Amino acid sequence: MFVAVPAPAAEALWVPPPPVGDYTPRHVSQRRDNCVWAAGQMLLDKWTHGEVRVDQGRLRQGARDGEGGSTLVDLARGVARTTGIKLRFSPGFGDSMAWWQLLDRLEHDGGAVLIGEYGRLPDHYTRWSPRFAARQASGHAVYVERYDRARGRVWLMDPLASGDHPGEWIDVDALRRFATVDGDLVMAAATPARHEPRTAPLTDRAYRLGPLQVPTTAISGSAVPVRVGLSITGGFPKPAAQRFVARWDPIVEPRVSVTVWPRVATDSDRTTGEPDLPEPTLAHTASAPDRAGSDGFAASLPVPAIPGRYRVTIGLAEPDRETASRELAPVEVEVLGPYAASWAAPAGVEVVAEAPFSLKIAITNIGTVDWRPAPVALEDPHPPDGGVQTVLVLTWRSRAGRQIPAAEVPAELAPGETAHLQVELGAPPDAGPWRLLADIVNVAHGSLAATGQVLPVVAVEVVPQGHSAGS
């Protein structure tokens, strides 16, 4: 049943509350040049959940609008005179909306008359009037609602469609190309907003995340820098502040025996054993919130306290939410203890048996443990002896398992410091394949190998005396 209200006085105009609930109006096919009026008829139906339905012809007659194209100004006049409803619209007529704000209303049970160019729609959607779409000027009005943010689509009801056509989904980017936008504001008349959003959720397809940047090595109990790029389309504003949330799943690997070497300068015997290390467990960490900058989100993410290899799944979540709105592909991170090092050494060399040669090694103290002697207090009655606290220990190992001490070099580094060493060595006496094993040994913390950290191994081919290395 169509309801028409006699023309009210201007001061009697009223604005119905925003629609609530899942209600879609009946599709209305336009009469000649009546797209604005047919779309307006569907908007009124939606807005009042079917309580106010006014025929498109009656709306046009109420506006005293003759034949030809009509505008949103005409529609507002016709709605006011036939129903008493005050229809504000965008841009500049009491209800200015950016594109993202219009989509927010459609997602929250709203509907809208949207003005655009029919010829800018994909061919599938112009099947109702291909000749009209081919015109140079193809201004048109459609009715839209039900923004499906997750799939990036909007429910479109085109007045040019046949009467039994209920409507169809259209990609939000395709609808955006159809829409007429003045500056940042869209040309549309919509049901009122249920709330005043400051930005759209990061789940919107307009927010496109770039690759995740996170170090593949971290120190237990510390924090690592995490960054993800961000690009924004469709005139959307910068998203709300987000925090990185991470799930650290331990990668359990078979335990292996590790040869532990005390300092050569001591009288201790060499021993072989398995380090008594705690097993890593599932951990969750989160960074402080960060508002997107020009290049995306960046923050410091806490690292689990237990060393080990982890598969880390990182997402972005709003500060007051535990679950991530966007999740990124997992990465593997090796979490080292506070006593840790990184190395740069040649993968392999060839030398002559018992001949001297030089080997270049770079060592960085990447942990939080200071490898230098502790400072001595002036009032300390028993100061330490001041000897070397940390050494680089190099050991030869043959294919048969024979081991020969190779060298000890001081390596007293502050956290973050790097030493570039040129170590003078003598080649093993027997020709054949050997391996040169490296370890760091500290007076207070012992062998770095005992922590389970993978240490460098240099493959060395020893050639007999009388031969030239590399020949």
Distance CA 441, CA 259 (A): 13
Same domain, 29 and 56: yes
Q: How far apart are the two ends of the chain, measured CA to CA in Å?
A: 100
Picking from 46, 37, 39, 118, the residue whose alpha carbon sits closest to that of residue 70 is: 37
With vertex at residue 329, the alpha carbon angle to CA 328 and CA 332, rounded to the nearest 5 degrees, is 120
Residue where one domain finishes, among candidates 160, 190, 220: 190
Domain check: are 282 and 352 in the same one? no
Tell me: do 261 and 356 sit in the same domain: no
Question: Do residues 229 and 330 both lie within one domain?
Answer: yes
Same domain, 311 and 443: no
Q: Note if the pTM is more than 0.85.
A: no
Is residue 21 situated within a structural domain?
Answer: yes
Q: What is the mean pLDDT of the chain?
A: 89
Does 466 score more than 90 pLDDT? Answer: no
Higher pLDDT, 197 or 73: 73
Grade residue 377 by pLDDT with cuts at 50, 70 and 90: low
Residue 262 pLDDT more than 70? no
Number of Cβ atoms within 10 Å of the Cβ of 294:
6
CATH code where residue 264 lies: 2.60.40
Do 152 and 253 have their domain in common?
no
Say yes or no to pLDDT of 273 above 80: no
Determine, yes or no, domain membership for 471.
Answer: no
Point out the domain boundary residue: 336, 365, 394: 336
Specify if 184 maps to a domain: yes
User: Quick one: 177 and 257 in the same domain?
Assistant: no
What confidence tens digit (pLDDT) does each residue in 127-144 have? 999 999 999 999 999 999
pLDDT attached to residue 263: 35
Residue 225 pairs in a beta bridge with: 300
Q: For residue 458, tell me if it sits in a domain.
A: yes
CB atoms within 10 A of CB 271: 9
Question: In percent, how much of the chain has pLDDT > 70?
Answer: 89
Residues 149 and 98 in one domain: yes
Same domain? For 310 and 458 the reply is: no
pLDDT for 260 equals 36
* Number of separate domains in the chain: 3
Model confidence at 3: pLDDT above 70: no
Q: What is the Cα–Cα distance from 400 to 351, expressed in whole angstroms?
A: 19
Q: Is residue 119 part of a domain?
A: yes
Domain that holds residue 35: 10-190
**380 in any annotated domain:** no
Q: What is the pLDDT of residues 27-64, one digit of tens each?
A: 999 998 899 999 999 999 999 999 999 999 999 999 99
Closest-CA residue to 85 (of 2, 8, 27): 8
41 & 173 share domain: yes
> Is residue 378 situated within a structural domain?
no
pLDDT for the residue 235 = 87
Q: Please identify, among 163, 190, 217, the residue that sits at the C-terminal boundary of a domain.
A: 190
As a whole number, mean pLDDT of residues 373-401 equals: 78
In this structure, the answer to whether residues 21 and 165 fall within a common structural domain is: yes
Contact 39, 76 (CB under 8 A): no
Q: Are 108 and 190 in contact (CB under 8 A)?
A: no
Decide: 432 and 462 in contact? Cβ < 8 Å: yes
pLDDT tens-digit series, residues 190-243: 999 998 888 999 999 999 999 999 999 999 999 999 999 999 998 899 999 999
Query: Is the omega angle on the peptide bond into residue 91 within 30 degrees of 0, that is, cis?
Result: yes
Residue positions counted in the chain? 471
User: Secondary structure of the chain in the HEC alphabet?
Assistant: CCCCCCCCCHHHCECCCCCCCCCCCCCCCCCCCCHHHHHHHHHHHHHCCCCCCCCHHHHHHHCCCCCCCCCHHHHHHHHHHHHCECCCEECCEECCCEHHHHHHHHHCCCEEEEEEEHHHCCHHHHCCCHHHHCCCCCEEEEEEEEEECCCCEEEEECCCCCCCCCCEEEEHHHHHHHECEECCEECEEECCCCCCCCCCCCCCCCEEEEEEECCCEEECCCEEEEEEEEEECCCCCCCCCEEEEEEEEECCCCCCCEEECCCCCCCCCCEEECCCCCCCCCEEEECCCECCECCEEEEEEECCCCCEEEEEEEEEECCCCCCCCEECCCEEEEEECCCCEEEECCCEEEEECCCEEEEEEEEEECCCCCCCCCCCCCCCCCCCCCCCCEEEEEEEEECCCCEEEEEEEECCCCCCCEEEEEEEEECCCCCEEEEEEEEEEECCCEECHHHCCCCCEEEEEEECCCCCCCC
Supply the pLDDT for residue 63. 94
**The domain spanning residue 367 has which CATH number?**
2.60.40.10
Whether residue 350 has pLDDT greater than 70? yes
51 and 186 both lie in a single domain: yes
Phi–psi pair at 164, nearest 5 degrees? -90, 5
Residue 405 lies in a domain: yes
Phi and psi based region of residue 11 (left: phi greater than 0; alpha: psi -120 to 50; beta: remaining)? alpha
Greater confidence, 85 or 295? Answer: 85
pLDDT at 165 over 60: yes
Query: What CATH number did the domain enclosing 145 receive?
Result: 3.90.70.10
